[in-house]
């Protein structure tokens, strides 16, 4: 079993406690649909800034980066994008 699979439940709970709403599954569905239809537009996973600066950097970021997931870091209070990660 891959290391990520063995700690996946703990990662999800840690991210949820830190305020991150799990949307990686939605990202993967959208990505698959775009590829299936031959639509070539960049797709980004929106991550709340407070979650990104918390447990996300330590646990989820390496996995998403390794899998070439583009992200945008969003300040939910000011409703602005703080950073784009390709």
Angle value at C-alpha 62, between 38 and 47, nearest 5 degrees: 70
Locate all alpha helices (DSSP H) within 2-76, ordered by sequence.
Answer: 3-17, 24-36, 49-51, 57-59, 61-66
Q: Residue 56 burial (CB < 10 Å; 0-12/13-18/19+)?
A: buried
Identify which has the larger pLDDT, 59 or 23.
Answer: 59
**pLDDT for 1 beyond 60:** no
pLDDT surpasses 60 at 78 = yes
Q: Are strands 80-85 and 44-48 parallel, antiparallel or unpaired?
A: unpaired
pLDDT given for residue 2 in this prediction: 43
- Position 31 scores a pLDDT of 87
Q: What is the CATH number of domain 3-85?
A: 3.40.1350.10
Tell me the pLDDT band of 35, cut-offs 50, 70 and 90. Answer: very high
Distance CA 52, CA 64 (A): 12
Q: What was the pLDDT predicted at 4?
A: 44
What are the boundaries of each domain within the chain? Answer: 3-85
């Amino acid at each position: 079993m891959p290391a990520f699979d063995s700690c996946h439940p703990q990662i999800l709970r840690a991210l949820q406690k830190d305020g991150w709403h799990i949307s990686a599954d939605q990202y993967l569905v959208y990505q698959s649909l775009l590829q299936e239809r031959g639509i070539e537009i960049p797709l980004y996973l929106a991550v709340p800034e407070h979650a990104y600066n918390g447990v996300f950097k330590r646990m989820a970021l390496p996995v998403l980066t390794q899998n070439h997931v583009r992200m945008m870091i969003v300040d939910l209070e000011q409703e602005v994008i703080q950073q784009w990660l390709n």
